[in-house]
Amino acid sequence: MFKIGLVSVSDRAANGIYDDEGIPSLISWLQTALKTPFITENRIIPDEQPIIEQTLCEFVDKLHCDLILTTGGTGPAIRDVTPDATLAIADRVMPGFGEQMRQISLHFVPTAILSRQVGVIRKKCLILNLPGRPKSIKETLEGVKDSAGKIIVNGIFASVPYCLELLEGPYIETHDQIVKSFRPKSSNKSNI
């Protein structure tokens, strides 16, 4: 079974000051976008680097998640330490994911250059830092589309299924109308 770890990093949500919107948004998007059945492990945690590191390591090392999506804590504020924690536990950095997330967000806000979002690999798990707002999460995953729904800038999830496949993870299929995953023809099971 495809296992996804969802981590919302927010002091206020972790302390019950307001309801977390990141994890429900991610679950809703994943249910709409994925053809492949999946299960999630969910955590709402504060902006504390040791707690973020511990959670990410637990999700990879003990719960064997194939993919981890974090939300929140990616800006330049002193308490924004999600990328720092993610890089601290990484085996390899995947810089293209961070570059693409900022490219997508720049179509909507000029402050996207302040984002420190990263993508990394720990063991055989892909970990991606997403923004905290539901609208931004959706845009980052799906990409930028024109008024007719044509892709202008690919969302990051278009590359996730093939990346997981290269990590010897599960074969993931998406609903093309939400996000069309890219694979070389030789890797596409529907062509075999």
- 150-178: average pLDDT: 95
Instruction: Calculate what percentage of the chain has a pLDDT beyond 70.
Output: 97
Q: In this model, does residue 81 exceed pLDDT 70?
A: yes
User: What are the extents of the domains in the chain?
Assistant: 2-191
pLDDT of 121 reads: 98
Average pLDDT, integer, range 142-150: 90
pLDDT above 70 (res 191):
no
Q: Using alpha carbons, select from 36, 33, 29, 50 the residue that is nearest to residue 2.
A: 36
The owner of tokens 């993870």 is: 169
For 9, the enclosing helix (H) or strand (E) is strand 2-9
- Average model confidence (pLDDT) for the chain? 94
* In the predicted structure, residue 190 carries a pLDDT above the cut 70: no
Given this structure, which CATH class describes domain 2-191? Answer: alpha beta
Cα distances (angstroms) measured from residue 142 to each of 25, 44, 178: 13, 24, 7
Cα distances from 147 to residues 28, 46, 157, 188, in angstroms, run 23, 38, 20, 29
Residues whose CB falls within 8 Å of the CB of residue 168, separated by 6 or more in sequence, listed in order: 124
Q: Which of 146, 140, 60 is nearest to 104 (CA)?
A: 140
| pLDDT of the residue at 124 | 97
Average pLDDT on 53-79 reads: 97
Question: Hey, what are 45's tokens?
Answer: 């945690």
Q: What is the pLDDT of residue 170?
A: 96
- Residue identified by tokens 């601290």 is 88
3-state secondary structure of 128: strand
What's the rounded mean pLDDT across residues 41-61? 97
Task: Convert the pLDDT of each residue in 122-144 to its tens digit.
Answer: 999 999 999 989 999 999 999 99
pLDDT at 102 over 60: yes
Distance CA 123, CA 118 (A): 16
Section 148-162 average pLDDT: 94
